[in-house]
């Protein structure tokens, strides 16, 4: 099964699994928006929290770009997608960013993977199954049944 992963899920997967993250990310989907959100997370670590140097931030940004080459990226781009995303955002009181991930999962008839508790709760109201990274990893560990 293919999943839509938001930036919070990608960040956790990268942090926990390091090199093995490729196995989890490959074959799944995110929005082009994830690149900017992940870049902003790195910027915050460097600029606002002083946890990493600017050189480390630049290196991490380059690593994110390389990782994002292996995960399919999609966009919310048609007028209908924008309309449907805005309907979700206003109905569920979500940011347009979060509603974009939800709309992508809904349109693709798949589950959303997110660490955002609010988004997971509101996904249910939109008829989209939303799971955590731990739930995803547990699903991927289970051997498939062949018959």
pTM: 0.91
Contact 94, 64 (CB under 8 A): no
- Domains of the chain, start order: 4-141 (3.40.50.1010)
Contact 144, 138 (CB under 8 A): no
Position 147 scores a pLDDT of 42
Strand blocks (E) in 20-108: 29-31, 72-74
pLDDT, block means (10 residues), the chain with 147 residues: 96 92 94 96 97 97 92 94 97 97 96 97 96 96 57
Position 141 scores a pLDDT of 85
Position 122 scores a pLDDT of 96
The dihedrals phi and psi of 5, each to the nearest 5 degrees, come to -110, 130
Position 19 scores a pLDDT of 85
| CB neighbour class for 135 (10 Å; exposed up to 12, middle 13-18, buried from 19) | middle
């Amino acid at each position: 099964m293919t999943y839509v992963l938001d930036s919070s899920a990608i960040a956790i997967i990268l942090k926990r699994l390091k090199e093995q993250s490729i196995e989890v990310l490959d074959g799944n989907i995110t929005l082009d928006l994830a690149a900017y959100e992940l870049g902003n997370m790195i910027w915050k670590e460097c600029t606002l929290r002083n946890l990493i140097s600017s050189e480390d931030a630049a290196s991490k940004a380059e690593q994110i770009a390389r990782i994002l080459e292996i995960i399919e990226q999609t966009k919310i781009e048609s007028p209908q997608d924008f309309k449907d995303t805005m309907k979700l955002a206003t109905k569920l009181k979500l940011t347009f960013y979060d509603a974009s991930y939800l709309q992508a999962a809904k349109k693709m008839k798949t589950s959303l993977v997110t660490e955002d508790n609010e988004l997971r709760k509101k996904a249910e109201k939109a008829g989209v199954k939303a799971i955590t990274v731990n739930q995803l990893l547990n699903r991927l560990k289970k051997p498939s049944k062949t018959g």
